[in-house]
Structure 1
Amino acid sequence: MKILYLGPTEGTAIQRIMALRRLGHDVTVVDPHLGRSVPLIPERLIDAWCFRTGAIGIEWLVARYVAKQIGNATFDVAFVDHGDLLNASCIAHLKTIAKVVVNYNQDNPYVPRDKGRWRVFLTALPLYDLIATHRVTSANSAARAGAKRVLLTREAADEAVHRPIELSSEDLARFSSKVAFVGTWMPERGPIMLRLIERGVPLRIYGPRWQKAPEYEQLRSHVVLGELKGDDYVKAIRGASIAIGLLSKGNEDLHTTRSFEIPAIGTLFCAERTSDHLEMYKDGEEAVFFDTVDECADLCLSLLKHPDRIKEIADAGLKRVHKNGDFNEKLVMKIINGALKG
């Protein structure tokens, strides 16, 4: 099929683009964020403005940019990833050049966490042929907001990126750890990390913004600042005996991409106990789950005394994630086929 992909060209979005291409589709990529430039205004200020206001005064620039990039081309599917900058007139235009227009959004536009960022998306939502989301709460909110059709999915790991790679001696020197958390600082995460350290968990934290944590001075020796991309992200997880997965409370998450990426990389997944996680993995056999930070500490400290048990659970988790099929190729085709069968 001829697919127009509109979304960011970084992060996990790149993985979805490549998944579509691996499946043999002809994919044209347009990044709406490239259409936001305003002379003499720094990019960081534009970012802040779009996040706080939903691109007031800028959305028309994006719509013009997208139309110019598309030109006279037509497509079987327009696949919008997130859609925070695409207004109703832009989606209406897409419907004239594509058989179906779908939206897949990993974030949660229906809660106040991201301030005004989703203003434009919410006005355009009723025009999409299909809205795909991985949260029941988001699916219900999308329906109330006027979505024609809503598809409940799971997030996914990537077939090509997330795999049990072999680490070199240099990799092990850089990434070897007993327990790792890979993720951005959020206000609720600092106290969790600090408590784990206080309990004696040999923790290493990778990710951006941790210097903003009120607990940073106590965490500093455990933190490797900066975002990990590509194989460095995989190596940091692969180099750990146990990798912790945390959820965004503000986003109402019951699982995230880490829920699949960590087991797919071949590392033991230790995460918050939720209905989604319990549906995906057998607790204590294919992953380990906790309700409190002290239970997390107890699990980590106990398991670290039994390396063979860690390997057994990690291997079982790897088999389970592949059995479940929670990978990008299946995800993107579920969304596209769901829209075309509409």
Structure 2
Amino acid sequence: MPSVLYLGQKSGTCLDRANALRRIGCMVDHIDPRELLPATVWVDRWTWRMGGHWFSPWAQRALQARLGFKRYHLCHVDCGEWITPAVIALLRRHARHVINYNNDDPTGARDGARFAAYRQAVPHYDLVAVLRETNVPEVKALGARRVLRVHHCADEVSHAPRPLSEADRQTWHSQVLFLGTWFPERGPFLLELIRLGVPLTIRGPNWHKAPEWAELQPHWAGGAIGGDHYAKAIQCAQVNLGLLSRENRDLHTTRSVEIPALGGLLCAERTPEHTAMYIEGQEALFWSGAEECAAVCREALADEHRRQRVASAGHWRHLLSPHRNDALMRTLLTAVDQIEAPAVLEPTA
């Protein structure tokens, strides 16, 4: 039974991955790196603007105190915006292997200096797992020893369908739902859908920042939600939009797997990765541009039987896919075992 030191947030998909390691039989010590740093919002603001490497001395001192004489088979660093080469050197005194998994686009431009420490640390990890094909050559250029390309995953527990009461259906019902954070390109797109007559509901944070807020606000039903509320909102929507982040260079996102995992109908932008994951028109609905999206939504809303058929087929396609956390963590553990073999690990799709 491998012992794992897991460095990552104790919430959201990061916590889901730590729990997946436990489900597949690992003994996990979970430390949130943010808890090692001063409890002030200025740490987060400085990290985004100047980089997390500035806080390396705090992280080293706190980790050394926490770890004592403990030893692990593996240290799994999730994200890594505060983990520098010096921190990894410390971790190597406690773990046989140190790897990184980053759910974001750490070699892209969207998040500014946030991942400065990550980029410095890349050559010091035994394995770097990335979510985008574009990340592979970029982390290699930074000196990565081994690179594994993986996909976003849903969680077997967090994204399992919930039983719904009539009160749930009334509370969370929507016709076309977008559940996600505001980004600059999303406001104009959703506003165009509204103008094209799509009965849209928006849930998620930071939408008040949108220049289009005055027109979007009547369609906004509240900020970030998680847990059962997140699951029920998706399950009770007739159509769930899957939008990408251009600056994050997305070709699929967590919603691309979480919506079908929950049994919701995925209606997402047509990309090579989406069309490889689901059969268009049978397991998910795809579009290119607001006009086609509006037309696809209207057709789906008009045909309940087809909505249910496509949503059910998408759910089963997901269950048969490897895009689930238990499978992801097994893949990472297998990759770690291969590090000890003479053969060099090649990136995989």
TM-score by length of 1: 0.97
Query: Is 1:68 paired with 2:69?
Result: no
**Aligned partners of 1:294 and 1:326: how far apart in 2?**
30
Q: Which residue of 1 aligns with 2:30?
A: 29
Q: Which runs of 4+ in 1 moved over 3 A?
A: none
Unaligned 5+ segments in structure 2 are: 340-349
Q: Distance in 2 between matches of 1:50 and 1:225?
A: 28
Aligned 8 A contact 1:237 1:265 in 2: yes
- Percentage of pairs with the same residue: 40
Structure 1 residue aligned with 2:153: 156
Deviations 1:87-132 (A, max 9, x none): 1011112122212111000111111211111111111110100000
Q: Corresponding residue for 1:17?
A: 18
1:334 is displaced (CA, Å) by 0.6
Deviation, structure 1 residue 168: 1.4
The reply on whether 1:98 has 2:98 as its aligned counterpart is no
Matched, 1:336 2:337: no
**Cα RMSD between the aligned structures?**
1.1
Structure 2 counterpart of 1:111: 108
**1:180 partnered with 2:177:** yes
- Paired with 2:25 and 2:329, the residues of 1 have a C-alpha distance of 13
2:127 maps to which residue? Answer: 130
Query: Which residue in the other structure is 1:319 paired with?
Result: 316
Unpaired runs of at least 5, structure 1: none
Shift of 1:185: 0.6
Shift of 1:291: 1.0
Q: Is residue 304–residue 310 contact of structure 1 (8 Å, CA) maintained in 2?
A: yes
Deviation per residue, 1:250-291 (Å, 9 max, x gap): 111111111110001111100011111111000111001111
- Per-residue Cα deviation, 1:157-208 (whole angstroms, up to 9, x for no partner): 0001112222212211221011101000111100111111111111111101
How big is each residue's C-alpha offset from its partner over 1:9-59, in whole Å with a ceiling of 9 and x where there is no partner? 111111011111111211001111111206xxxx22221111111135322
1:206 aligns with 2:203: yes
4-13 or 56-65, larger mean C-alpha shift? 56-65
Tell me the alpha carbon deviations over residues 46-74 of structure 1, each in whole angstroms, 9 at most, x when there is no partner. 21111111135322111221222111100
Partner of 1:307: 304
Match of 2:84 in 1: 87
Q: Residue 215 of structure 2 corresponds to which residue in structure 1?
A: 218
CA contact (8 A) 1:210 1:225 kept: no
Is the 8 Å Cα contact of residues 56 and 87 (structure 2) preserved in structure 1? no
The CA deviation string for residues 204-246 of structure 1, in whole angstroms up to 9 with x for no partner, is: 1110111111111101111022110111110110010110001
Return the TM-score normalized by structure 2. 0.95
- Residue 135 of structure 1 deviates from its aligned partner by 0.7
Matches within 5 A, 1:42-53: 43-53=40-50
Distance 2:36 2:96 in 1: 24
Structure 2 counterparts to residues 183-262 of structure 1, below 5 A: 183-262=180-259
**Using the alignment, how far apart are the partners of 1:106 and 1:57 within structure 2?**
22
Q: Check conservation: 1:266, 1:317, Cα contact below 8 A.
A: yes
- CA contact under 8 A between 1:206 and 1:227: conserved in structure 2? yes
Q: Is the 8 A contact 1:100 1:340 kept in 2?
A: no
Separation in structure 2 between the aligned mates of residue 271 and residue 190 of structure 1, nearest angstrom: 16
Distance 1:264 1:134 in 2: 19
Within 1, Cα distance between the matches of 2:260 and 2:11?
Answer: 22
CA distance in 2 between counterparts of 1:166 and 1:228 reads 18
Provide the rounded CA distance (Å) in 1 between the counterparts of 2:132 and 2:44: 26
Which of 270, 275, 278 does residue 273 from structure 1 map onto?
270
- Of the structure 1 ranges 189-198 and 90-99, higher mean CA displacement relative to structure 2 is found in 90-99
Name whichever of 157-166 and 255-264 sits farther off: 157-166
What is the distance in 2 between the residues matched to 1:254 and 1:260? 12
CA distance in 2, matches of 1:97, 1:137: 32
Q: Find the aligned partners of 1:105 and 1:55 in 2 and give their Cα distance.
A: 15
| Cα displacement (A) at 1:302 | 1.0
Amino acid at match of 2:23: R
Partner of 2:342: none
> Is the 1:63–1:86 contact (alpha carbons within 8 Å) kept by the matching residues of 2?
no
Q: Please list, as runs of the form range in 1=range in 2, the aligned pairs for 1:289-300 lying within 5 A after superposition.
A: 289-300=286-297
Q: Distance in 2 between matches of 1:28 and 1:49?
A: 28
Query: How many residues are aligned here?
Result: 338
Instruction: Output the CA distance in 2 between the equivalents of 1:205 and 1:339.
Output: 41
